[in-house]
């Protein structure tokens, strides 16, 4: 679906966004149930969207990829990556289970679904997306309940069912100042998650958080042991096409200024490569 019109506002109208979950937990019965959705607890951000939530991304009605290869992030599709491949560690055996584009559908806590996504940009609870390339490049984007973006380009490694996500940098198109406490651009980190593949189109990640402001929702330290899927928090993702990753599930609106410009990659539709450097920001912080 197309995002009809984006309205940038420093004072977000949350009434436009809180159109989803009734807030009550429901029992979780089948790990392959895919018509669910994402959420997030909330710090504030400041991008609002008009008319974005009128479309429902029910998997049954979403257009199928034109061919299977459109869901996989191939090196040949991203020529800018060729020059820096040698600097990336091999993602390891099992990495092929992650390769592709993913949007989150639900959060499960101790076997019970607690949050679900019913619309392309979430229900006013937040939105999570991952992209993983065959050569070890990765990109994670979190949209807050107000849909402000928080971007985490990085690399990934897999060891059995444990994935390590190494951030290269952090930035936000909606909050471009590098000292913004939400984007926390000056402090990249490594986070960890156990994952399970269900069929070819569903991924479960063990998580520590339901948000992705400063880090991915993964664990900040390596878990001592793999939890069962009925224990702890898990975030469930469905496979999507590259077109939908950059299309109906993407919103990144630049709110920079001459003194603090947005990151050069904000308009990019080729994020699985070496990210551009953080731009210089001479504006004071906090904003006066």
Is residue 132 one of the residues assigned to a domain? yes
Is residue 63 one of the residues assigned to a domain? no
Count up the domains in the chain and report the number: 1
- Could you say which residues of the chain have pLDDT below 70? 1-87, 182-185, 287-288
Report the SS3 class of residue 62: coil
**C-beta of residue 178 within 8 angstroms of C-beta of residue 134:** no
pLDDT for the residue numbered 87:
60
pLDDT for the residue numbered 52:
38
pLDDT for the residue numbered 217:
94
pLDDT for the residue numbered 30:
38
Is residue 189 one of the residues assigned to a domain? yes
Report the SS3 class of residue 14: helix
Is residue 44 one of the residues assigned to a domain? yes
Query: What is the chain's length?
Result: 288
pLDDT for the residue numbered 76:
41
Is residue 159 one of the residues assigned to a domain? yes
pLDDT for the residue numbered 183:
65
Question: C-alpha angle 18/23/29, rounded to 5°?
Answer: 125
Q: Domain holding 140: CATH number?
A: 2.40.128.280
Kindly give the residue spans of alpha helices, DSSP state H, lying in 68-227.
Answer: none
Is residue 238 one of the residues assigned to a domain? yes
Residue 103: both structure tokens together: 């949007």
Report the SS3 class of residue 133: strand
pLDDT for the residue numbered 204:
97
Q: For residue 238, is the peptide bond before it cis, meaning its omega torsion is within 30 degrees of 0?
A: no
Is residue 116 one of the residues assigned to a domain? yes
User: What sign has the CA pseudo-torsion 160, 216, 235, 128?
Assistant: negative
Provide the domain limits for residue 108.
5-53+70-77+87-246
Q: Which helix (H) or strand (E) holds 153?
A: strand 149-159
Question: C-alpha angle 136/213/44, rounded to 5°?
Answer: 155
**C-beta of residue 198 within 8 angstroms of C-beta of residue 204:** yes
Residue 254: both structure tokens together: 């630049």
pLDDT for the residue numbered 44:
38
């Amino acid at each position: 679906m197309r995002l009809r019109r984006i309205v940038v506002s420093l004072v977000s109208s949350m009434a436009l966004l809180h159109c989803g979950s009734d807030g009550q937990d429901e029992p979780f019965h089948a790990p392959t149930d895919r018509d669910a959705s994402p959420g997030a607890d909330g710090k504030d951000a400041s991008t609002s969207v008009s008319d974005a939530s009128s479309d429902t991304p029910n998997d049954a009605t979403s257009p199928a990829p034109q061919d299977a290869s459109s869901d996989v992030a191939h090196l040949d599709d991203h020529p800018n990556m060729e020059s820096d491949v040698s600097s990336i560690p091999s993602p390891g055996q099992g990495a092929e289970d992650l390769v592709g584009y993913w949007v989150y559908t639900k959060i499960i806590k101790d076997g019970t679904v607690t949050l679900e996504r019913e619309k392309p940009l979430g229900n006013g609870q937040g939105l999570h997306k991952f992209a993983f390339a065959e050569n070890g490049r990765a990109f994670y984007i979190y949209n807050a309940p107000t849909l402000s973006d928080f971007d985490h380009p990085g690399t990934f490694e897999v060891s059995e069912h444990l994935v390590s996500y190494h951030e290269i940098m952090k930035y936000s198109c909606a909050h471009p100042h590098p000292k913004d406490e939400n984007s926390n651009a000056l402090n990249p980190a490594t986070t960890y998650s156990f994952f399970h593949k269900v069929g070819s189109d569903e991924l479960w990640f063990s998580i520590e958080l339901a948000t992705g402001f400063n880090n991915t929702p993964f664990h900040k330290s390596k878990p001592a042991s793999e939890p069962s899927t009925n224990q702890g928090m898990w975030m469930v993702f469905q496979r999507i096409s590259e077109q939908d990753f950059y299309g109906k599930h993407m919103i990144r609106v630049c709110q920079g200024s001459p003194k603090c410009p947005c990151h050069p990659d904000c308009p990019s539709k080729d994020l699985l490569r070496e990210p551009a450097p953080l731009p210089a920001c001479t504006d004071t912080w906090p904003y006066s």
